[in-house]
Amino acid sequence: MSYCLNPDCNNPNNAPTATACQTCGATLLLRDRYRSSRILGRGGFATTFLAVDEGLPGLPTCVIKQLRPVLNAAHILEMSRELFQREAATLGKIGNHPQLPRLLDYFELGQDFYLIQEYVSGATLQQEVRRSGPFDEPMTKEVLREVLPILDYLHQQQVIHRDIKPANIIRRSIDRKLVLIDFGAVKDQVSQAAANNPDHTTLTAFAVGTPGFAPPEQMAMRPVYASDVYSLGITCIYLLTGKSPKDLNYNQATGELEWQNRVQISPRFQRLLEKMLEVSLRDRYQNAREVSQALDELQAAANAPAAPPPPSPSGTSTYAPQRPTQRSTTAGSGLGGRTSQPSAARAGAQDPMAGSFSKIAPRKSVSRAPSAGATDQTGSGGRKSVIKLSPQGLQQAYGQGKRDFSGHDLSNLSLSRFQLPSAIFHEAQLQNSDLRGADLNGANLGKASLVNANLRHTNLQDAYLSYADLEGADLRGADLSSAYLSNANLRGANLCGANLTGATLNLSQLSLAHINWMTILPNGKRGRGLW
């Protein structure tokens, strides 16, 4: 579909190959190469669209950011132009970081300004919390450990993000790394320039970041590096509670957010978050590097060995070393691939794409015994080999926060319409299972056996299916958009009516599958033709 970029258009949907909007007549191919397909987000000053670059081979996906001044006065347009060019220069400078989207192009058309940026496929932290519930302390610490170096890089480049929040942190599907998006440099600086002009108060209504996540000095249009520290602290509170700042109470005497009674975290971590959230700039961490240092000290204190008990009054020590206990082979699992299970580590040794799933701390410690509804199948000597789960056992384990089912036997199960986004089924056995209409968005199915599985109308968007065996699988009507299918076996798979937009696979793989004119190919076109 081609989506019209004219904000005044009453019916922006058009045919995929149309050149002009059927409703308003606006051109649909921006700068003769960028074709928008849908809106990703809309704010007071900018709208972002998902698009493809028809000027490059393979039609890569990108993001169009349309910046439109709310007032048409000449001095406002001139100010917007200057700040737009400044933001483009900033984005071009910082885009070399692997966890920040790259700036691909920028230009002005009429009175609108456009930025073309790299598209980051994945779920935001806000979406993860809404799907699977609040994070625990280890998971929240991992977010801090990954985002703080990005912030430190920005601050070293003399850039303040100004709009850090869960909706602006994406877990990239292909490698599970966190990416920071949506820089508000232009709109914040527009606000500062117009703040003293009472005739232009419209500009300031949305231009100081997100209320609740922005600290007082930023709301007063005087942001500093510590402002990003505050916003990241509020983001941690959202991850731990699942509550937006507007849904929490504030201390009327101090202006501080009251959140401590809603979380279960260690006293040391609570003090770290409280210092990130100090209303007074003087008492807050001044930059990301200070927070990273405090987090390292917290971890070092937690890992410090406990002192042995004092000697008995008789002078002989009452301390005696205990016989070492046998370690279980299975650890707890967490949200969206956060796991320390040996099975995931072994998978990572064979498959570099899967290895990243084993590097993130577990969500919560769970029982070392098999999940409810699970059968622990053992080999000779009692060594664990395969865990067989029932549908009820799988649903119960997932509902309790377990996400890693690597190597499990889930064959011949009825899992129709199960909600399992971001679950890990690396090397799992799912042959002949009924997964019709299931939600496997962002799931890791690398090297899984899905032979003859029923995946009709299943949501496999952004799923990782590298080296998966899909021979004979029924994928009619399945959503495989942006799925990673490199080296997957598609021999005899039925892809009639499936959506493969943006999927990663080659022509030789597709030639082994059944497709028809309703199949949407990776380039977004329908039919049986090559792309």
Number of independent structural domains in the chain = 3
Evaluate whether residue 150 is within a structural domain.
yes
| Domain C-terminal end among 118, 136, 165 | 118
The 3 state secondary structure assigned to 259-314 is: CHHHCCCCHHHHHHHHHHCCCCHHHCCCCHHHHHHHHHHHHHHHHCCCCCCCCCCC
- Report the CATH number that the domain containing residue 38 is assigned in CATH: 3.30.200.20
Would you say the pTM of this structure is higher than 0.85? no
Does one domain contain both 296 and 414? no
DSSP state of 325: P
Does one domain contain both 275 and 133? yes
* Whether pLDDT at 11 is above 80: yes
Which residues partner with 499 through β-bridges?
479, 520
Does one domain contain both 384 and 484? yes
Q: What integer is the mean pLDDT of 351-359? A: 34
* Whether pLDDT at 130 is above 80: yes
Evaluate whether residue 399 is within a structural domain.
yes
* Whether pLDDT at 131 is above 60: yes
Q: How far is CA 405 from the centre of its chain?
A: 20
Give the model's confidence band at 377: pLDDT under 50 very low, under 70 low, under 90 confident, else very high.
low
Q: Are 167 and 126 in contact (CB under 8 A)?
A: yes
Q: What integer is the mean pLDDT of 480-494? A: 93
Handedness of CA 203, 205, 210, 214 (dihedral sign): positive
What pLDDT score does 507 carry?
86
Neighbour-count burial of 56, counting CB atoms closer than 10 A to its CB (0-12 exposed, 13-18 middle, 19+ buried): exposed
Amino acid at 261: N
Does one domain contain both 523 and 454? yes
Helix axes 288-303, 225-241, angle to 10 degrees: 50
Find the range with the poorest average confidence among 22-26, 166-170, 328-332: 328-332
Q: Note the pLDDT tens digit of each residue in 498-527.
A: 999 999 999 889 889 988 888 999 988 886
Evaluate whether residue 309 is within a structural domain.
no
Q: Note the pLDDT tens digit of each residue in 258-308.
A: 999 999 999 999 999 999 999 999 999 999 999 999 999 998 887 776 555
Does one domain contain both 167 and 296? yes
Does one domain contain both 288 and 149? yes
Which residues partner with 519 through β-bridges?
none
What is the rounded CA–CA span in Å between residue 6 and residue 22? 12
Domain span holding position 448: 333-531
| Domain C-terminal end among 98, 118, 138 | 118
Q: Note the pLDDT tens digit of each residue in 39-85.
A: 988 765 678 899 999 999 999 999 998 887 666 677 777 777 777 77
- Report the CATH number that the domain containing residue 428 is assigned in CATH: 2.160.20
- Report the CATH number that the domain containing residue 260 is assigned in CATH: 1.10.510.10
For tokens 């700042």, the residue is 245
Transcribe 399-443 into DSSP letters: HTT--B-TT-B-TT-B-TT-B-TT-B-TT-B-TT-B-TT-B-TT-
For tokens 């170096």, the residue is 149
| Domain C-terminal end among 283, 301, 319 | 301
* Whether pLDDT at 102 is above 80: yes
Active site residues: 163
Does one domain contain both 67 and 170? no
CA dihedral 28, 29, 35, 40 (to 10 degrees): -50
Does one domain contain both 389 and 489? yes
Does one domain contain both 133 and 262? yes
Q: Which of 279, 246, 108, 115 is nearest to 184 (CA)?
A: 115
Evaluate whether residue 151 is within a structural domain.
yes
Q: Are 87 and 185 in contact (CB under 8 A)?
A: yes
